[in-house]
Amino acid sequence: MEYSTCTVIEKHMMMNNDVNDLIMLGVVHRDSGGYRLLAERLEQFMPDIITLEFSHYGLNYRRVMGKTYKKRIMEVILKYSGNREKLNRDAFSELVSFANVPYEYRASVRYTDKHSGLLHLIDLDMFSYVKLQKSEELFSPSNIERLLFSEQGFTDHGERAVARLFFEGGIKIYKYTEEMFIRDRYMSGRISMIKKENKNKRLLHICGWQHLDDPYELYAPLNPRKVFIYDKTDCF
């Protein structure tokens, strides 16, 4: 399995590649520097169409509930205003990022608005619905207190480090789940249909980096060029 890596690339280099190539751009969700880096990569690849591992349900849910959840976070912080030195800033960042519309969507909308491109949200609503039903528990005041002010409340799993182990050392310490298989089968089918309906258009798919693994080769018929967004060398 081959992966390309990416850094600042002259646009004319990108345009010399086959416009029918599919680019799979693997990202780390909720990464603090993700928006800036993704915006740069989109300008480098210059896709006509973007597909995104994100569901319409997930987008609408955050638009409706995001402000409520962020208000609860601030209420807890104000309650502990005398102990702000104990605030777990990593947990705070994770909670706010979860409540916000993801940076992948915001960067994609900005790019497609600027370049008159198309954006498709192609993930399954069903799994978003199931996961987001747990949000009320996650954002309950007691749980927010535990995550933000308890030493045992939050663990940073070092997502970027886990990705590095996989891409650079071939060390796989995450599990490709049945849910991922079902979602990848569905999303690869959606991408295939979009490509057939938009011949001679440059298509880029944004997904969590684990989906680049593709152990069942669901994306293989699309002949994708896989790129891990945080790598430092040229893609092509």
pLDDT tens string 35-66: 999 999 999 999 999 999 999 999 999 999 99
- Give the contacts of 174 (CB within 8 A, at least 6 positions apart): 162, 166, 210
Closest CA to 30 of 131, 120, 105, 83: 105
| Residuewise pLDDT in 10s, the chain (236 residues) | 444 444 333 343 344 456 668 999 999 999 989 999 999 999 999 999 999 999 999 999 999 999 999 999 999 999 998 888 889 988 899 899 999 999 999 999 999 999 999 999 999 999 999 999 999 999 999 999 999 998 665 555 567 777 777 877 787 878 899 999 999 999 999 999 999 999 999 999 999 999 999 999 999 999 999 999 987 544 43
- Give the contacts of 104 (CB within 8 A, at least 6 positions apart): 27, 29, 34, 38, 52, 53, 54, 206
Strands in 118-121's sheet, in edge-to-edge order, are 4-5, 224-228, 22-27, 203-208, 49-52, 118-121
CA distance 33 to 11: 22
Half-sphere exposure of 116 (CA within 13 A, CB side): 0
The torsion angles phi and psi of 226, rounded to 5 degrees, stand at -95, 130
Give domain limits for the chain.
4-228
- C-beta separation of 11 from 47 below 8 A: no
Closest CA to 34 of 21, 47, 52, 18: 52
The torsion angles phi and psi of 154, rounded to 5 degrees, stand at -150, 135
Rg (CA), the chain: 19
Predicted TM-score (pTM) above 0.85: yes
